[in-house]
Amino acid sequence: MNEPTNGGANLTGVWQGLYTYPRPALTVSFVATLIENGKCLSGSTHEPCVGERRSGATLYATLLGSRDESAVTFVKTYDAPGPDFLDPVEYVGTLSQDGTEIEGRWIIRSDWSGKFLMIRSSGKPAAVSREVLERA
């Protein structure tokens, strides 16, 4: 697996996240799987639907973006968008120094935005798994 060209911890792994809607005040949890290759990011998310039409359903999305040092950006596109999930969502965040948190803002059409936070464990289990796979 390639280490990032910009130094620091590789973002590949599973991240637990939260994002907030500005109105009504609402927080939604999600799980993101990120794959970093050089400066490129890809991955996927799943989250509960909190909209009135599909409340309780699970929403799936794909991620595509990049990383430059501590700056992390990606676009989330829902796989099967309904009327409330047509627009891609841009995420702009900053990676913490220890590589375990990404915090920032999400934006839709420049007029709708909120905050997000993604957290993962210290990364030791992923490193051990990678080492085992490389030996096989």
In the predicted model, is pLDDT for residue 29 greater than 50? Answer: yes
In the predicted model, is pLDDT for residue 133 greater than 70? Answer: no
Q: Find out whether 18 and 31 touch, Cβ atoms under 8 Å.
A: no
In the predicted model, is pLDDT for residue 9 greater than 70? Answer: yes
Domain boundaries, the chain: 13-135
- Half-sphere exposure for 10 (CA within 13 Å, toward CB): 20
* CATH no. of 13-135: 2.40.128.120
Burial label, 2 (beta-carbon count in 10 A; 0-12, 13-18, 19+): exposed
pLDDT of residue 131: 52
In the predicted model, is pLDDT for residue 30 greater than 90? Answer: yes
Q: What is the pTM of this model?
A: 0.79
pLDDT of residue 129: 43
Mean pLDDT of the chain: 83
Report residue 55's pLDDT band, with 50, 70 and 90 as the boundaries: low
In the predicted model, is pLDDT for residue 64 greater than 90? Answer: yes
φ, ψ dihedrals at 135, nearest 5°: -75, -25
Rounded CA-CA distance 10/17 in Å is 18
In the predicted model, is pLDDT for residue 1 greater than 80? Answer: no
